[in-house]
A and B are shown apart, each in its own frame.
Chain A
Amino acid sequence: MEQILSSEDARPGSALPELSFGPISRSLLAQYAGASRDPDPVHIDIDFARAAGLPDVFAHGMLSFGIVSRMVTQWCGVEQLREIGARFVAVTQVHDVITCHGTVIECFERAGETLARIEVTATTQDGRNALSGEALVALG
């Protein structure tokens, strides 16, 4: 993380190294629920999910968000991340494999820093879009 990305590394259109994660298992969801302290039983308790009219438990949106954040900070270093945000477009199911993509959209100046705006997405193996958002990263 010592080397800070420059505007040369982050030209509009350049892609971040993609990152795949999964398949998402039930035990991973249990571990993520504990690690994230999420109290929502719908992610880990199939009895609860069925009683709520759902076919099965489903993954935490923040799990995909965490993987997308990891993709971005593996690229730029955690200290360079200024903002990250996403909309959870579709639910991620048990056994899904998530692949995260990031693309530089533009570079601009804000408060004396050069920032790269990165479009980020997480998609499942069958092409469903689970999450889409963007990150702002400070360049050196």
Chain B
Amino acid sequence: MGDNAASAGPRGLFKRETKGFVTKPVRLQLERGHMRFFAEILGETDPVFSDLIAAQAQGYPDIVAPPSFAAVIETMASEEQRRSGERPLTEVIGCDFRHLLHGEQHFAYDGLMYAGDEVVITTLVEDFFEKRGGMLEFVVLLSTISHAERGVLVRTRRTLLHRFG
């Protein structure tokens, strides 16, 4: 698709020079109450996501994080960066919430995450690309969530985009 001459307005808001940037590892505690609330909002009925006794009865050390909680950890990492005086990744790559959409999300699981876990997340700014002659501008972020003893638990791929018009 060629450039659309009629499309004025902001273009290319992502800071493409950040391609290859890797965040410093961010350490996060997974809180039982937070995980349970998240599971409840999604209407999770499997008690392993909300009931400590039921989770332990199935051999888990604590309640289990729902699969999409990995995305919450990605967001919490940005919060934590801000708290510790660093620029959050969304700011580093130049996200503009007025135009921002979530394009794709993928998770690969090597292990479960439990309440009480301390996990470490790092994120790589893998790529930027455009579609529709620059009317859509994409960034691909790859994150790894790991645990000191259990190793890598989740690998995520998040595609965000700016839509102009």
Contact = CB atoms under 8 A, between A and B. Distances in A.
Contacts of A1: 46, 48, 58
A66 B90 CA distance: 22
Interface residues of B, number: 38
Interface stretch (B14-22, B74-82, B128-136, B140-148): B74-82
Contacts of A62: 68, 71, 102, 105
Interface size bracket, A side: 35 or more
Nearest to B97: A40
B87 interface: no
B68 A69 contact: yes
B64 interface: yes
A63 B105 CA distance: 12
Contacts of A21: 43
Interface of B: 34, 37-38, 41-46, 48-49, 58, 64, 66-68, 71-72, 75-76, 78-79, 90, 97-109, 112, 157
Given A42-B98, A88-B105, 13 more contacts: A1-B58, A36-B38, A39-B78, A62-B68, A69-B67, A70-B66, A78-B48, A78-B49, A78-B64, A78-B112, A84-B67, A86-B105, A133-B106
Interface of A: 1-2, 21, 28, 31-32, 35-42, 48, 51-53, 60-63, 65-67, 69-70, 72-74, 77-79, 81-88, 91, 133
